[in-house]
Amino acid sequence: MPERLPLHDLHAAAGAVFVAPCGIEVPRHYGDAGAEYAAVRQGVGLVDRSDHELVEVTGRDRAAFHHAMLSNDIKGLAPGQGCRAAFLDAHGKVQELVVVWAMDDRILLVVPPGRAARVAEGLEAYLFSEKAALRDVTGERALLELAGPDAPRAAAGLTGVEVPERPWAHVPATLAGGPVTLVRGDGETGEAEVWIDLPARHAVRAWQALVAAGARPVGLDARESLRIEAGTPRFGHDVDRTVLLPEIPLEPFVSYTKGCYIGQEVVVRIRDRGHVNRRLRGLALEGEAVPSVGAAVEADGQEVGRVTSAAWSFGLKRPIALGLVRRSHAEPGTAVAVRVDDRRVPATVAALPFAR
């Protein structure tokens, strides 16, 4: 049996149809995925992100340790700041993608569904004399997200606290009588975003207050359309442990001035003297059929890539996908075909993001 989110009953009462892509039941839609997509593009949508997990890091060496482990500048984060980062192996291949939030007395790592234990174990393997302790606190916390042009205003209206502008910056606030942290997202949907980190026991009241204020619940179908249009890679789909960091849009994950970290030599060498043999690209398909993950991308009578994510684009009114495509065919505008069932569907390689 798949696990359920703490707010499962609220989603069910709102008409949610569920799916369990990572072993956790999440709302696929609430009856009208197109309207949910429009809420994010035009107003404010509300997403339950509690399928994501949290690792808490304490100890005086927590920042220095993660600075040496991860691809971004962790020591440069003041309390109230954050960033995306990658944990690589010595060959520059992505082991994990995380979001780092620096607090006064700890660091929080936001990780994809089902990854908290693996992230903690992978990092702890490098702990020697450093004073740092990692703990999975997933069950103690809930994560909600407001997304859309009105998201910052909605959060400020309910809490009386302005959300910072800088991506992943965060401030304490009170929502529906309970303590929360408001965190500015970095636009994985292509719109303004405010993540809300709060105690799990307070999640029901917070969700109800956000819905009462006009935020529309948004399910996975609309979220995937938004994410793929924005060209945001997802770990376990577009990125796994076979992928080199420079094969994906890596700017949000990397500091080139921070000094050494695991895999740094490979990343810098590719930047300065080499190239990768494939790139994560967009694929705009003809027709109406959405390809399966893993579908072959073909050109010139051979396979030149694979689909890593796909969805119906409510904005472009066509199927779109992300895929790892060989360098020889990765130039935007290149004509390719994607296998959909037994058919070869014409497609065009697209620069990311699809929608700005």
Helix (H) or strand (E) holding 168: none
pLDDT of res. 250: 87
Model confidence over 71-128: pLDDT tens digits? 999 999 999 999 999 999 999 999 999 999 999 999 999 999 999 999 999 999 999 9
Are 318 and 207 members of one domain? Answer: no
Of 232, 253, 275, the residue at which a domain comes to its end is 275
Give dist(CA 75, CA 84) in Å, integer.
13
Q: Give me the CATH number covering residue 34.
A: 3.30.1360.120
Within a 10 A sphere around the Cβ of 208, how many other Cβ atoms? Answer: 13
pLDDT of res. 23: 87
186 and 84 Cβ atoms separated by less than 8 Å: yes
Model confidence over 298-309: pLDDT tens digits? 999 999 999 999
Are 172 and 312 members of one domain? Answer: no
Q: What is the average pLDDT across 229-246?
A: 96
| Domain ranges, residue 12 | 1-275
Q: Give me the CATH number covering residue 335.
A: 2.40.30.110
Closest to 88 measured CA to CA, from 265, 317, 263, 295: 263
Of 275, 306, 330, the residue at which a domain comes to its end is 275
Model confidence over 8-52: pLDDT tens digits? 999 999 999 999 988 899 999 999 999 999 999 999 999 999 999
pLDDT of res. 22: 83
Are 168 and 307 members of one domain? Answer: no
Closest to 347 measured CA to CA, from 219, 330, 28, 53: 330
Model confidence over 82-96: pLDDT tens digits? 999 999 999 999 999
Q: How far is CA 177 from CA 38, 103, 153, in A?
A: 30, 22, 19
Are 195 and 337 members of one domain? Answer: no
In degrees, rounded to 5, the angle at the alpha carbon of residue 30 between the alpha carbons of residues 319 and 154 is: 95
pLDDT of res. 2: 85
H runs (alpha helix) in 70-150: 116-124
45-48 and 216-217 beta bridge pairing: parallel
Are 254 and 304 members of one domain? Answer: no
Model confidence over 182-218: pLDDT tens digits? 999 999 999 999 999 999 999 999 999 999 999 999 9
297 and 347 Cβ atoms separated by less than 8 Å: yes
Are 175 and 194 members of one domain? Answer: yes
DSSP 3-state of 281: strand
Model confidence over 245-280: pLDDT tens digits? 999 998 999 999 998 999 999 999 999 988 899 999
Are 213 and 319 members of one domain? Answer: no
216-217 and 178-184 beta bridge pairing: unpaired
Q: Which residue has the tokens 């499962």?
A: 8
Instruction: Provide the domain count of the chain.
Output: 2
**Amino acid (1-letter code) at residue 230:** A
Closest to 148 measured CA to CA, from 32, 316, 28, 35: 35
Are 250 and 113 members of one domain? Answer: yes
Of 220, 245, 275, the residue at which a domain comes to its end is 275
Are 271 and 293 members of one domain? Answer: no
45 and 148 Cβ atoms separated by less than 8 Å: yes
Are 86 and 192 members of one domain? Answer: yes
300 and 312 Cβ atoms separated by less than 8 Å: no
Closest to 216 measured CA to CA, from 41, 40, 50, 49: 40
pLDDT of res. 112: 94
Q: What is the DSSP letter of 328?
A: G
CA trace torsion 124, 126, 132, 137 (10° rounding): -20
pLDDT of res. 78: 98
DSSP 3-state of 91: coil
Tokens of 202: 């307070």
Are 268 and 135 members of one domain? Answer: yes
Are 5 and 129 members of one domain? Answer: yes
Give dist(CA 70, CA 50) in Å, integer.
24
pLDDT at 356 over 70: no
Per-residue pLDDT band at 1 (split at 50, 70, 90): confident
Q: What is the DSSP letter of 239?
A: B
Percent of the chain with pLDDT over 90: 96
Closest to 220 measured CA to CA, from 237, 240, 206: 237
pLDDT of res. 273: 86
190 and 229 Cβ atoms separated by less than 8 Å: yes
